[in-house]
């Protein structure tokens, strides 16, 4: 296989400190905030913390509360959370609570655990009635937060099991207040999909969404399991540019269409809403919204501020100037995606341990990074409202980004030739069935013969093909599809391939080449039929 050049989205990078106020477009403002537990962990700084958020123009803070299955009715840091919520409300900051188990096996190994957790989630909602936004779970596609990731036979397990937790929590929270927004998954942006991986057992976001949808359909549920979807599009490397995404089936900021398509594949036609589509009439269900509840580029620490930190850095970081430019460009970019409701920087203030996260607008000593002024300027300039062309997304009915190169076109081949192949690739994982078919004449393939070839390919038996091949296309890679070595009888032949999306077999397409001659067809005996 040969790696294709990545087709990252063409991003228009905008200076966040521009003095020009962008002309507003239709649609709601992007909610910009942070995901930061400082007000919970250090209640004495809550006032300063939220005053700082107010100064920047940040509107939302996500706070985590962990569930201890050994004490299933206890709310950890209850008083501190109550104080943080009260101070946030006074400063006009909306609090989102992220609820998930403290132990990675708390749900899968505890009898009645989904119900116990859901009852606890309802208790949290009743305890903090000012809070209307709840995230259920945190990166269940990673072994750090959910185990097991895979069954003993190597099949994925985590996201299927998580579905029951989300469904139970949805019902419990809605019973407290029907106006509560239940936010699902908190999905991590990458996974190995390898049950034998050493140290990184994880499931890719696209496959996690697929498994979530399969479990939902199998449950025969007639209600949604989430009002919004939480996603964490951290970069693969802190040195990545904003426009650098992930190869399929992982997904970063430039690959959000991949997440939307995965949700459509998983849930369309069910009671669970999917994302709004451009040019499509609104259905009876509310459309899903996307919350980017964690995003951050980690930076190195200037020597003058290192005394505020301890430990040793474990990754390659970027510099503060690059972080500032990325954060400023991120806001107007996401503001033009109607599906994205909010974007939360992770964190506002750095963690002191260098083995943790240093991606905030403030250093651990609370001094301001360049990103502080950049983000503040972007918000003041009105860049939380789309000033350009909104993203127009629609689901694909076919495999995404398939390209087939039938090399040689209509050029004649020798009847001594034994090598037969063509090149194909796709932007997502697909399965293909290919054949080399003998046809009666050159030129355009008739509709009848085309239909016969399509049926032959899609049955899988490839009846009537002189040569056949089956296999898989890895998303983002090109592959030489080679047929068995064989000399062919003189005649006219055409390459054909049927390609099916791995995530949704209903998305498929057939591709035909141009008929070409092998040997001297006019001297050939009776040609093979494609029927």
Query: Which structure tokens are listed for 385?
Result: 């409202």
Interacting residues of 313 by C-beta distance below 8 A, sequence separation 6+:
300, 354, 355, 358
Are 134 and 92 members of one domain?
yes
What pLDDT does 262 receive?
Answer: 98
Query: For residues 21 and 427, what is the distance between their CA atoms, to the nearest angstrom?
Result: 37
Same domain, 345 and 211: yes
Q: Where are the beta strands (DSSP E) in 234-288?
A: none
Point out the residues of the chain with pLDDT beneath 70: 1-27, 282-285, 522-531
Which of 380, 411, 434 delimits the end of a domain?
380
For residue 51, give both structure tokens: 């005053």
Is 51 found in the same domain as 161?
Answer: yes
Same-domain pairing of 359 and 490: no
Q: What is the pLDDT of residue 459?
A: 82
CATH assignment at residue 466 = 2.60.40.2550
* Burial (Cβ within 10 Å: 0-12, 13-18, ≥19) of residue 252: buried
User: Is 12 found in the same domain as 129?
Assistant: yes
Residues 324 and 461 in one domain: no
Give the Å distances, CA to CA, from 64 to 114, 138, 187, 370, 392: 18, 9, 15, 27, 33
Q: Is residue 163 domain-resident?
A: yes
Are 517 and 470 members of one domain? yes
What HEC string does 346-384 produce? Answer: CCCECCCECCCCCCCCECCCCCECHHHHHHHHHHHCCCC
Residue 46 lies inside a defined structural domain of this protein: yes
Q: Examine the domain organization and report whether 372 and 418 are in the same domain.
A: no
Range of the domain at 472: 403-523
Based on the domain organization, do 451 and 347 belong to the same domain?
no
Q: 260 in a domain, yes or no? A: yes
| 371 and 408 co-located in one domain | no
What pLDDT is attached to residue 445? 87
Does the residue 386 lie in any domain? no
Look up the pTM and report it. Answer: 0.91
User: Does the residue 385 lie in any domain?
Assistant: no
Alpha-carbon dihedral of residues 464, 469, 472, 474, nearest 10 degrees?
-120
- The enclosing domain of 203 has a CATH number of 3.20.20.80
Residue 397 lies in a domain: no
Is residue 390 in some structural domain? Answer: no
CA 20 to CA 505: how far, in whole Å?
48
Whether residue 179 is contained in a domain is answered as yes
Say how far apart CA 53 and CA 61 lie, in whole Å. Answer: 9
Closest CA to 514 of 408, 403, 402: 408
- 304 and 438 housed in the same domain: no
> Of 168, 171, 176, whose CA–CA distance to 125 is shortest?
176
How many independent structural domains does the chain possess? Answer: 2
| Same domain as 148, residue 91 | yes
* CA angle (139, 143, 145) in 5-degree steps: 45
């Amino acid at each position: 296989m040969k790696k294709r050049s990545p087709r990252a989205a063409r991003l228009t990078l905008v200076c966040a400190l521009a003095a020009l106020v962008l002309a507003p477009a239709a649609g709601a403002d992007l909610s910009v905030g942070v995901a930061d537990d400082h007000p919970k962990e250090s209640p004495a700084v809550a006032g300063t913390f939220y005053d700082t958020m107010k100064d920047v123009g940040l509107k939302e803070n996500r706070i985590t509360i962990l569930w201890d299955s050994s004490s299933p009715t206890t709310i950890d840091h209850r008083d501190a959370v109550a104080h943080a919520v009260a101070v946030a409300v006074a400063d006009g900051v909306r609090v989102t609570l992220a609820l998930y188990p403290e132990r990675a096996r708390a749900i899968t190994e505890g009898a009645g655990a989904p119900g116990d957790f859901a009852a606890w989630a309802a208790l949290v909602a009743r305890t903090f009635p000012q809070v209307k936004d709840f995230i259920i779970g945190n990166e269940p596609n990673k072994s750090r937060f959910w185990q097991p990731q895979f069954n003993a036979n190597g099949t994925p397990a985590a996201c299927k099991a998580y579905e029951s937790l989300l469904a139970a929590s949805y019902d419990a929270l809605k019973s407290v207040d029907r106006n509560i927004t239940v936010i699902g998954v908190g999905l991590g942006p990458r996974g190995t999909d390898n049950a034998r991986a050493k140290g990184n057992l994880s499931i890719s976001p696209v496959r996690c969404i697929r498994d979530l949808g399969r479990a939902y359909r199998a449950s025969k549920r007639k209600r949604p399991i989430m009002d919004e979807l939480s996603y964490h599009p951290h970069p693969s490397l802190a040195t990545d540019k904003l426009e650098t995404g992930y190869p399929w089936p992982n997904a970063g900021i430039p690959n959000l269409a991949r997440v939307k398509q995965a949700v459509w594949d998983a849930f369309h036609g069910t009671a669970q809403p999917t994302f709004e589509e451009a040019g499509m009439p609104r259905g009876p269900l509310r459309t899903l919204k996307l919350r980017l509840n964690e995003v951050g580029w980690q930076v190195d620490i200037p020597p003058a501020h290192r005394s505020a930190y301890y430990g040793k850095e474990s990754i390659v970081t970027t510099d503060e100037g690059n972080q500032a430019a990325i954060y400023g460009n991120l806001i107007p970019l996401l503001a033009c995606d109607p599906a994205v409701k909010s974007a939360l920087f992770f964190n506002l203030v750095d963690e002191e341990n260098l083995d943790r996260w240093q991606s905030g607008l403030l250093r651990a000593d609370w001094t301001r990074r360049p990103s502080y002024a950049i983000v503040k300027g972007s918000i003041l300039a009105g860049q939380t409202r789309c000033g350009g062309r909104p993203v127009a997304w629609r689901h694909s009915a076919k495999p995404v980004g398939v390209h087939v190169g039938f090399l040689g076109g209509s050029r004649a081949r020798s009847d001594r030739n034994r090598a037969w192949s063509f090149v194909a690739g796709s932007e997502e994982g697909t399965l293909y069935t290919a054949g080399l078919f003998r046809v009666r004449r050159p030129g355009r393939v008739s509709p009848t013969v085309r239909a016969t070839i399509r049926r032959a390919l899609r049955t899988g038996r490839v009846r009537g093909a002189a040569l056949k091949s089956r296999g898989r296309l890895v998303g983002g890679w090109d592959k030489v599809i080679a047929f068995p070595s064989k000399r062919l009888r003189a005649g006219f032949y055409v390459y054909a391939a049927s390609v099916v999306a791995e995530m949704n077999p209903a998305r498929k397409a057939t591709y035909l080449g141009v008929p070409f001659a092998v040997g001297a067809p006019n001297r050939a005996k009776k040609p093979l039929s494609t029927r």
